[in-house]
Chain A
Amino acid sequence: MSTTLQPYLKAVRQTLTAAICVENFSSQVVERHNKPEVEVRTSKELLLTPVTISRNDKEKVLIEGSINSLRISIAIKQADEIEKILCHKFMRFMMMRAENFIILRRKPVEGYDISFLVTNFHTEQMFKHKLVDFIIHFMEEIDKEISEMKLAVNSRARISAEEFLKRF
């Protein structure tokens, strides 16, 4: 199963490197506005074709690009109920603190667990290749983190059950 991870991440990296080519663009719909076109979606010619990269039917990444912004949505592997709950809580924790993450979106796109929004203002202040590195690193680490948390939950449950049942 893990043999699909490297090609999957490689494909995501290549797509991100191409999609992160964004430039400053003033709105052509509302005067004096400058909004991320991938969120506003009023002018179809300014949007790129969305690309979905799937590792399997449960894990996939949706990359939607536009002239001045890019939206990356990730669907994380959630094999059982515990992982679903852990993932949901973990993502919620991060999304509530989206300001500190700078590129994180407060609500995930429909059908996905977490979304990033990268605009031209971010690429002007930060290195594009490092932003891509961050997202790939995030995707690699998230599975490990959730597995670790699941193990921790299970061991805590076992210990507390043991302690409780010692009474009887």
Chain B
Amino acid sequence: MPDAHSFGVDPITCYSWNKDQTQLALSVNNNEVQIQNFANGKWSLKNTLTDHTQRVTGIDWASKSNRIVTCAADRNAYVWVQESGKWSPTLVVLGITRAATCVKWSPMENKFAVGSGNRCVAVCSYDKENNWWTSKKIKKPIRSTVTCLDWHPNNYLIACGSTDFKARVYSAYIKEVDEKPAPSNWGTTNNFANLMGEFSSEAGGWVHGISFSASGNHLAWVAHDSSICVVDANHGLKLTIVKTEYLPFMDVIWINESSIIVAGYGCVPMRFNYKDSLTFVGKLDDADSKQQPGKVSAMAQFKAMDSRAATDVETTLNSTHQNTIVQLSVFAGGKERCTKLSSVGTDGQIVIWDIK
């Protein structure tokens, strides 16, 4: 049974769990980041971080170093460090002149990447001499807003999806903080911002979500043409596309090396298996088998007819999420063997799903 919690009526824009899923950092469509404690199925608000001046668009909680990075539509990003129960921010000089759209810590947490409406990805690293975070930009050949990104487990490759219908893999190797990159089957390069591959589903649609598998050999993304694409680096960057009949998906995540979960405007997460081709396995929400909320009582029907001239009383959806699912993340088990998954939606709910 999915475990659903509501944070009010406002959509949850972005969220991130801490290392052991006891705390959640989230934003409910405003400029604040809430840190909520999750204990025994109950939530309690611990802190509210209010340094951003516009809508917060991305939050990532670094599990090992316990730092939070947030980015917002006000073109800024902050790195938050916890000192004796309080979170203190450090402004990051991104150098972008449009809204930031997404942010992710690298696997080793010495860098993070921010996507923006400036048609670039800013990769930030800590400059010890000057004691601040500096950024280097990946620009070519991105031609529109970057909407999503994900790091490869080797800490130096990064995949980004954009509204110019393409998914791209770049090298984000920064000489000052990284060791020499080991060869990978995406290609090897010592140059920052080197394009390793550019992909698109035939007609293409805005890329909404992108994810590397746990080994980094597979890259999956979902686009607005309701397609799911997977690139296999083990077989020479072979591209597999499946065009589904469902409404477009907003996010994708690998739950083991051969399965992905996608969710989006259909409000129901779905599972696909990948083994040379993508096959639909099933929906996580048994919305169809769920009972129609009884035969609606005659009383309720007449009441509705009288007050609103409505002939049907049904407004809510059969699924757990009542509106678009916006972001998926692993709750337990890691990307290699995920046993639980969490999703948030524009209905203000966070739902924890069991993966069998």
Where the two chains meet, the residues of A that have a C-beta atom closer than 8 Å to any C-beta of B are 17-18, 21, 23-28, 31-32, 34, 43, 45-46, 67, 123-125, 127-130
Contact present for B11 and A124 (CB under 8 Å) = yes
CB-CB under 8 A for A128 and B144, given A26-B73, A32-B99, A67-B206: no
Q: Which residues of A contact B22 (CB under 8 A)?
A: none
- By secondary structure, the A interface counts as loop
Which of the segments B180-188, B297-305, B315-323, B329-337 contacts the partner chain? B315-323
Q: Which residues of A contact B74 (CB under 8 A)?
A: 32
Minimum CB–CB distance from A159 to chain B (whole Å) comes to: 29
Contact present for A24 and B55 (CB under 8 Å) = yes
Selected from B9, B99, B323, B326, the residue in CB contact (under 8 A) with A26 is B99
Contact present for A46 and B248 (CB under 8 Å) = no
Minimum CB–CB distance from A19 to chain B (whole Å) comes to: 11
- What 0/1 readout, one digit per residue, does chain B (70-111) give for beta carbons within 8 Å of chain A? 000111000000000000000000000111010000000000
Contact present for B317 and A27 (CB under 8 Å) = no
Minimum CB–CB distance from A47 to chain B (whole Å) comes to: 11
Contact present for A28 and B248 (CB under 8 Å) = no
Cα of A128 to Cα of B75 in the assembled complex, Å: 30
Selected from A17, A24, A27, A32, the residue in CB contact (under 8 A) with B247 is A17
Contact present for B73 and A34 (CB under 8 Å) = yes
Cα of A45 to Cα of B224 in the assembled complex, Å: 12
Question: Size band of the B side of the interface?
Answer: 35 or more
Q: Considering the complex of A and B, which 9 residue pairs feature the smallest CB-CB distances, nearest first?
A: A26-B99, A28-B117, A21-B265, A26-B73, A28-B145, A124-B11, A124-B346, A45-B144, A31-B97
Selected from B145, B164, B346, the residue in CB contact (under 8 A) with A25 is B145
**Chain A residue, CB-CB nearest to B53:** A32
Minimum CB–CB distance from B163 to chain A (whole Å) comes to: 6
Within 163-201 of B, Cβ neighbours of A (below 8 Å) are at 163-165
Q: Which residues of A contact B248 (CB under 8 A)?
A: 21
**Chain A residue, CB-CB nearest to B75:** A31
Cα of A123 to Cα of B326 in the assembled complex, Å: 13
Residue B13 at the chain A interface, CB threshold 8 Å: yes
Cα of A124 to Cα of B324 in the assembled complex, Å: 9
**Chain B residue, CB-CB nearest to A125:** B9
Q: Which residues of A contact B315 (CB under 8 A)?
A: 127, 130
Residue B119 at the chain A interface, CB threshold 8 Å: yes
**Chain A residue, CB-CB nearest to B165:** A45
**Chain A residue, CB-CB nearest to B74:** A32
Of A34, A45, A67, A123, which is in contact with the most chain B CB atoms at under 10 Å from its CB? Answer: A45
Q: Which residues of A contact B247 (CB under 8 A)?
A: 17-18, 21
Cα of A63 to Cα of B118 in the assembled complex, Å: 29
CB-CB under 8 A for A123 and B346, given A18-B247, A26-B98, A32-B73: yes
* Cross-chain pairs A/B with CB under 8 angstroms, 22 sampled: A21-B247, A21-B264, A21-B324, A24-B13, A26-B57, A28-B98, A28-B99, A28-B117, A28-B118, A28-B144, A31-B75, A31-B98, A32-B54, A45-B144, A45-B164, A123-B324, A124-B11, A124-B29, A124-B346, A127-B315, A128-B323, A128-B324
- What 0/1 readout, one digit per residue, does chain B (42-78) give for beta carbons within 8 Å of chain A? 0000000000001101000000000000000111000
